[in-house]
């Protein structure tokens, strides 16, 4: 089975492909020559995932799935949430986003947070959604060289390392995207 994954993020593509059984082959937006910015202007993570999947199905005709992920920080009333990728501005720079978040939390004792991923699957004319949540906390400084995005400052509950300090396999077992992908895989079986 071949599915279009509505992403140009090679890190995300690699992460998700590593969780799928061999019979499911992911195709990126680049592979289908989609070089346009797919709209993401909803007010929720779920809304963005659905919007991207529906756009791809409507304009390109492929069975596909899209995801949206946000980091929700308790002390910031759920921010950056749906704006996680653009938290520090439209340039979507992970380093800038991380710095801004650490600055916003500087004098806040509550560092509880959760990563949330919603996958919207458009398959055979029907839409399905899958949600994965990983609870944890924000560290006071960056740790680790792996991962991407907010991984160097997010520690999942029960871990003494950030997502940037653990292996991709470990992250996939407990992480938000991994939990959502597991639901997707179970559905596709």
* Per-residue model confidence as pLDDT tens digits over 30-79: 999 998 889 889 999 999 999 999 999 999 999 999 999 999 999 999 99
Of the residues 22, 68, 96, 160, only one is catalytic, namely: 68
Confidence of residue 189 (pLDDT cuts 50, 70, 90): confident
Whole-number Å distance between alpha carbons of 177 and 189: 18
The residue written with tokens 């596909």 in the block is 64
- If phi > 0 it is left, if psi is from -120 to 50 it is alpha, else beta; for residue 159 that is beta
Confidence of residue 172 (pLDDT cuts 50, 70, 90): confident
- Does residue 16 register a pLDDT over 90? no
The residues near 29 (Cβ < 8 Å, ≥ 6 apart) are 4, 5, 6, 7, 8, 35, 38, 56
State the average pLDDT for the chain: 93
CA 172 to chain centre: 12
Read off the DSSP letter of residue 43: S
Question: Residues annotated in the binding site for Mg(2+), as ranges?
Answer: 68
Catalytic-residue membership of 68: yes
Q: Does the pTM exceed 0.75?
A: yes
Residue ranges per domain, the chain? Answer: 2-188
Tell me which CATH code domain 2-188 carries. 3.90.950.10
Question: Residues annotated in the binding site for substrate, as ranges?
Answer: 7-12, 69, 148-151, 171, 176-177
**Of 19-23, 103-107, 116-120, 176-180, which range is least confident?**
19-23
């Amino acid at each position: 089975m071949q599915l279009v994954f509505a992403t140009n993020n090679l890190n995300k593509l690699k992460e998700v492909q590593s969780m799928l059984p061999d019979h499911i082959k992911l195709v990126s937006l680049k592979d289908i020559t989609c070089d346009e910015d797919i709209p993401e202007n909803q007010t929720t993570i779920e809304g963005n995932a659905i919007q991207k999947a529906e756009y791809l199905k409507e304009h390109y005709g492929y069975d596909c799935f899209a995801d949206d992920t946000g980091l929700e920080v308790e002390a910031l009333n759920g921010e950056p949430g749906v704006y996680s990728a653009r938290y520090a501005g439209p340039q979507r720079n992970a380093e800038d986003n991380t710095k801004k978040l650490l600055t916003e939390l500087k004098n806040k004792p509550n560092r509880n947070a959760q990563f949330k991923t919603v996958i919207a699957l458009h398959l055979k004319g029907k839409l399905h959604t899958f949600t994965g949540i990983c609870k944890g906390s924000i560290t006071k400084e960056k740790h680790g060289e792996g991962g991407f995005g907010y991984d160097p400052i997010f520690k999942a509950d029960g871990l003494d390392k950030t997502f940037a300090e653990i292996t991709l396999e470990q992250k996939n077992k407990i992480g938000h995207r991994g939990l959502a992908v597991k639901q997707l895989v179970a559905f596709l079986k």
